[in-house]
């Protein structure tokens, strides 16, 4: 039995579908259970975790307090790892982000802290770092600006990936033995947020200017230098243009 935390989220949903298609038994931990394989639990309070983990051999931890930039992520990971240890779980898989040690952002410091908790937990683990999903760039940066007469794009190199490809890699790891930190996974090309914005505007059939925004300080420098990318691991095939066309 595989427990997926965050199985209702952007990467968790396709992961659950993928695991089910492989004929594996999957349980989804969620605060709002709705479907047959959902089980109620809250990682921040720890409520429901012991029950959710009965019979579980592998956890894929995809939950994150993303709406509050990871505010409770460390607490969530601590609660889950403690419960997993008591339940005798023998493989803990964590989805992390490429370049978190290079980009000085609070959410990334939290991700590093969670990685360390996983590594020090004593539970055999696998950590996979992925680049940004097309959805994140599309829904957080570009779609909110849809009605503006221009698009603002912060200066950053980026290598976005199709989320179903990340889900597929996680599913593959879930049926293998624990491997520690595995090779990063990135999308097919390194581009810039500005070029992505231009592609998005073009696909929408609009003619509006894309304005670059220079991000100041160490953060800006790290983003421009490609800290978020892993060009040597460009294993994804789905492009941002395909994603944008499908949503237009």
Ligand X SMILES: NC(=O)c1ccc[n+]([C@@H]2O[C@H](COP(=O)([O-])OP(=O)(O)OC[C@H]3O[C@@H](n4cnc5c(N)ncnc54)[C@H](OP(=O)(O)O)[C@@H]3O)[C@@H](O)[C@H]2O)c1
Q: Does 18 bind ligand X (CB under 6 A)?
A: no
The tokens for 123 are 């539970």
Q: Does 44 bind ligand X (CB under 6 A)?
A: yes
CB atoms under 10 Å from CB of 22, counted, come to 14
2, 11, 201, 230: which one binds ligand X (CB under 6 A): 11
Q: Does 42 bind ligand X (CB under 6 A)?
A: yes
CB atoms under 10 Å from CB of 226, counted, come to 17
Q: Does 15 bind ligand X (CB under 6 A)?
A: no
**Can you point out the beta strands (E) in the chain?**
2-5, 26-30, 38-40, 58-61, 91-97, 125-130, 151-154, 157-158, 180-181, 191-192, 210-213
> Who contacts 16 (Cβ-Cβ below 8 Å, separation ≥6)?
4, 7, 26, 28, 37
- Of the candidate spans 125-133, 151-159, 170-178, 219-227, the one that interacts with ligand X by CB under 6 A turns out to be 125-133
Q: Does 32 bind ligand X (CB under 6 A)?
A: yes
Report, in Å, the least distance between residue 165 CB and ligand X. Answer: 12
Q: What is the CA radius of gyration of the chain?
A: 19
- Of the candidate spans 25-33, 51-59, 168-176, 230-238, the one that interacts with ligand X by CB under 6 A turns out to be 25-33
CA angle 179, 176, 96 (to 5 degrees): 50
Q: Does 158 bind ligand X (CB under 6 A)?
A: no
- Please name the helix (run of DSSP H) or strand (run of DSSP E) that holds residue 67, with its range, or none: none
3, 95, 118, 142: which one binds ligand X (CB under 6 A): 95
Q: What are phi and psi of 222, to 5 degrees?
A: -65, -40
Report, in Å, the least distance between residue 141 CB and ligand X. Answer: 11
Report, in Å, the least distance between residue 127 CB and ligand X. Answer: 11
- Of the candidate spans 40-48, 115-123, 142-150, 228-236, the one that interacts with ligand X by CB under 6 A turns out to be 40-48
Instruction: Give the residues lining the site for ligand X (CB under 6 A).
Output: 5-6, 8-12, 29-32, 42-44, 62-66, 76, 95, 97, 111, 130, 132-133, 136
């Amino acid at each position: 039995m595989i427990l997926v935390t965050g199985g209702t989220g952007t990467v968790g949903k396709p992961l659950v579908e993928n695991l089910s298609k492989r004929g594996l038994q999957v349980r989804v931990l969620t605060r709002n259970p709705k479907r047959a394989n959902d089980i109620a639990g809250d990682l921040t309070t720890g409520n429901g975790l012991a029950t959710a983990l009965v019979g579980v051999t592998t956890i894929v931890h995809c939950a994150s307090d993303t709406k509050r930039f990871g505010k409770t992520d460390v607490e969530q990971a601590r609660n889950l790892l403690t419960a997993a240890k008591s339940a005798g779980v023998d493989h803990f898989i964590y989805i992390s982000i490429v370049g978190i040690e290079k980009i000085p952002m609070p959410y990334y410091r939290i991700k590093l802290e969670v990685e360390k908790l996983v590594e020090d937990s004593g539970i055999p683990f696998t950590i996979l770092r992925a680049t940004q999903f097309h959805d994140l760039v599309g829904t957080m940066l570009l779609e909110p600006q849809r009605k503006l007469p221009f698009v603002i794009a912060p200066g950053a190199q980026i290598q976005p990936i199709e989320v179903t490809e990340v889900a597929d890699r996680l599913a593959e790891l879930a049926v293998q033995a624990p491997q520690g930190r595995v090779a990063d996974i990135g999308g097919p090309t390194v581009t810039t947020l500005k070029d992505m914005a231009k592609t998005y505007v073009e696909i929408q059939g609009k003619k509006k200017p894309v304005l670059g925004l220079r991000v100041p300080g160490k953060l800006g420098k790290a983003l421009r230098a490609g800290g978020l990318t892993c060009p040597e691991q460009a294993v994804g095939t789905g492009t941002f243009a395909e994603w944008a066309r499908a949503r237009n």
